[in-house]
């Protein structure tokens, strides 16, 4: 197996791009080795610059739920392209998109399109703050909401105290308004609310976490947050950038039957193009400019190509609900196969799965929050990752990521993945 072209591209990239990549986790720092540069992809398969083939378990970190280069999305973009890629004026597609999102996500009555998940969450907390007239937000340890200043806060051991910035450049002033609770703990959130009476604007979380690996909400957790938010007039924000249109058409809210006040969306919503959205109750969204006083704007927001791709994707998913049964069953089959292998090898690893998202944690702990996720042996993960990669299986290059199954992955691919995994687990033991 030769990675010559990827290697030389990476050397050149490092001269002109910080770390050689436009998003840090792509650099393979957590697993070592050289990142692969991709040339094309079709269905379940990626092809790198050295023309090697990989089964893709990242699927662009979620968006490619129908596999790569799906004809429905491709056609829609082609049609939009010839009519000019951007006008900076309203278009019919934006109206159709907004109506479609409101029909799919029951808690969303009005929605604003943006260009990334980061923009969606940044805008959502601004609106929650403007609407409530309060400054502080609660976020859960280990949840990722994009790279907005307010979200780059690590809890450290001092959960429930004022946050400290996770990145230089985030000011202490910003960090002190972000309060951290462990995921799955209602009592921690209650305590923070008690200590900050009438000061909390919003609680934001990934209803099913993907960004510390896949972590499942315990029974009653989401409902418990809903009850607390109602009691204290706090805006409950579900960050469904990852889970939206994936765990069910209506996202985690549909799956767990809990409604958020505001929802942030991204990834699948753009069909592979850069799109995000935030929406929620009319009475909240009516605070957004030009109707209300809270400013938020975007030169390329609602971009015709992006809307065409996203609309094609969402319409396809809406009219083909069987996609969800298929990807969930495929994922369950893969996960059960992995569990069998792990048991046979006499190992005790943990697999968390919700629908078509899953993570194999190299720990025997029950992973329910950031602390338990961190018990994973990242060394073992790196060995597993490299072995899988060398056998043509492209996993997310970090222990703390979820894997995403597309409906282009079928029994043939599952068999190949399981075969490679058996070999990779042997490497760990050796």
* H-helix segments, 24-178: 71-81, 92-104, 117-132, 172-175
Question: Which CB atom, from 126 or from 145, has the smaller least distance to ligand PLP?
Answer: 145
CA separation for the pair 430, 428 (Å, rounded):
6
CA separation for the pair 139, 143 (Å, rounded):
7
304 belongs to the binding site for ligand PLP (CB under 6 A): no
Residue among 70, 145, 259, 380 that touches ligand PLP (CB under 6 A): 145
Question: Which CB atom, from 208 or from 425, has the smaller least distance to ligand PLP?
Answer: 208
Residues whose CB falls within 8 Å of the CB of residue 80, separated by 6 or more in sequence, listed in order: 93, 304, 305, 307, 308
Residue 124 has φ and ψ, to the nearest 5°, of -60, -45
Total residue count of the chain as it appears in this document: 430
Both structure tokens of 68: 């790569």
Both structure tokens of 119: 């923009």
Residue among 146, 244, 271, 279 that touches ligand PLP (CB under 6 A): 146
239 belongs to the binding site for ligand PLP (CB under 6 A): yes
What is the DSSP annotation of 274-335? S-EEEEE-HHHHTTBTTTSSB----TTTT-HHHHHHHHHHHHHHHH-THHHHHHHHHHHHHH
Chain residues 201-230 in contact with ligand PLP, contact rule CB under 6 A = 206, 210-211
Task: Exactly one of 267, 369, 384, 400 is catalytic; name it.
Answer: 267
Asked if residues 106 and 112 have their Cβ atoms less than 8 Å apart, the reply is no
Q: What is the separation, in whole angstroms, between the first and last Cα of the chain?
A: 22
Both structure tokens of 292: 């209300």
384 is catalytic: no
Task: Exactly one of 239, 256, 369, 394 is catalytic; name it.
Answer: 239
Residue among 241, 294, 408, 424 that touches ligand PLP (CB under 6 A): 241
Residues whose CB falls within 8 Å of the CB of residue 91, separated by 6 or more in sequence, listed in order: 302, 304, 307
239 is catalytic: yes
404 belongs to the binding site for ligand PLP (CB under 6 A): no
118 belongs to the binding site for ligand PLP (CB under 6 A): yes
370 belongs to the binding site for ligand PLP (CB under 6 A): no
244 belongs to the binding site for ligand PLP (CB under 6 A): no
Question: Which CB atom, from 214 or from 425, has the smaller least distance to ligand PLP?
Answer: 214
278 belongs to the binding site for ligand PLP (CB under 6 A): no
Residue among 63, 117, 213, 271 that touches ligand PLP (CB under 6 A): 117
Residue among 213, 266, 271, 279 that touches ligand PLP (CB under 6 A): 266
Residues whose CB falls within 8 Å of the CB of residue 158, separated by 6 or more in sequence, listed in order: none
Of 29-37, 173-181, 237-245, 392-400, the segment contacting ligand PLP by CB under 6 A is: 237-245
Of 87-95, 115-123, 305-313, 392-400, the segment contacting ligand PLP by CB under 6 A is: 115-123
Task: Exactly one of 144, 221, 278, 394 is catalytic; name it.
Answer: 144
Both structure tokens of 305: 């190509």
52 belongs to the binding site for ligand PLP (CB under 6 A): no
Rg value, the chain, Cα: 21
- Closest contact distance (angstroms) between CB of 276 and ligand PLP is 6
131 is catalytic: no
144 belongs to the binding site for ligand PLP (CB under 6 A): yes
- Closest contact distance (angstroms) between CB of 72 and ligand PLP is 22
For β-strands 200-205 and 110-114, DSSP reports them as unpaired
Annotated catalytic sites, by residue? 144, 239, 267
Residues that bind ligand PLP (CB under 6 A): 116-118, 121, 144-146, 206, 210-211, 239, 241-242, 266, 276
């Amino acid at each position: 197996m030769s990675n010559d072209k990827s290697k030389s591209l990476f050397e050149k990239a490092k001269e002109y791009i910080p770390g050689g990549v436009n998003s840090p986790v792509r650099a393979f720092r957590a697993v070592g080795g050289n990142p692969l540069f991709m040339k094309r992809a079709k269905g379940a398969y990626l092809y790198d610059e050295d023309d090697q083939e990989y089964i893709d378990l990242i699927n662009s970190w979620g968006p490619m739920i129908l596999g790569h280069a799906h004809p429905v999305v491709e056609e829609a973009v082609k049609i939009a392209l010839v009519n000019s890629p951007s006008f900076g004026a309203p278009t019919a597609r934006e109206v159709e998109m907004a109506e479609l999102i409101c029909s799919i996500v029951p808690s969303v009555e009005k929605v604003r399109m943006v260009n990334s998940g980061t923009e969606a969450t940044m805008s959502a907390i601004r609106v929650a703050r403007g609407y409530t007239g309060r400054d502080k937000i609660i976020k859960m340890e280990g949840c990722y909401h994009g790279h907005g200043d307010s979200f780059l806060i690590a809890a450290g051991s001092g959960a429930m105290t004022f946050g400290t910035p996770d990145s230089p450049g985030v000011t202490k002033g910003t960090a002190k308004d972000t309060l951290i609770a462990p995921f799955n703990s209602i009592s921690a959130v209650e305590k923070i609310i008690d200590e900050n009476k009438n000061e909390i604007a919003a609680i934001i979380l990934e209803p099913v976490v993907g960004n510390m690996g896949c972590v499942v909400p315990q029974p009653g957790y989401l409902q418990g947050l809903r009850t607390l938010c109602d009691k204290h007039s706090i805006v409950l924000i579900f960050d469904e950038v990852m889970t939206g249109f994936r765990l069910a058409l209506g996202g985690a809210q549909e799956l767990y039957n809990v409604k958020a006040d505001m929802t942030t969306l991204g990834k699948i919503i753009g069909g592979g193009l850069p799109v995000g959205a935030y929406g929620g109750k009319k009475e909240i969204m009516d605070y957004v400019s030009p109707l209300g006083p809270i400013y938020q704007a975007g030169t390329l927001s609602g971009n015709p190509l992006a809307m065409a791709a996203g609309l094609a994707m969402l319409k396809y998913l809406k009219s083909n609900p069987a996609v969800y049964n298929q990807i969930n069953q495929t994922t369950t089959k893969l996960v059960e196969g992995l569990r069998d292998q792990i048991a046979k090898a006499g190992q005790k690893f943990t697999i968390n799965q919700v629908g078509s998202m899953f993570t194999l944690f190299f720990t025997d702990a029950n992973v329910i929050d950031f602390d338990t996720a961190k018990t994973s042996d990242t060394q073992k993960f790196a060995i597993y990752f490299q072995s899988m990669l060398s056998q043509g299986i492209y996993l997310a290059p970090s222990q703390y990521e979820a894997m995403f199954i597309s409906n282009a992955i079928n029994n043939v691919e599952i068999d190949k993945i399981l075969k490679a995994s058996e070999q990779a687990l042997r490497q760990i033991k050796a």
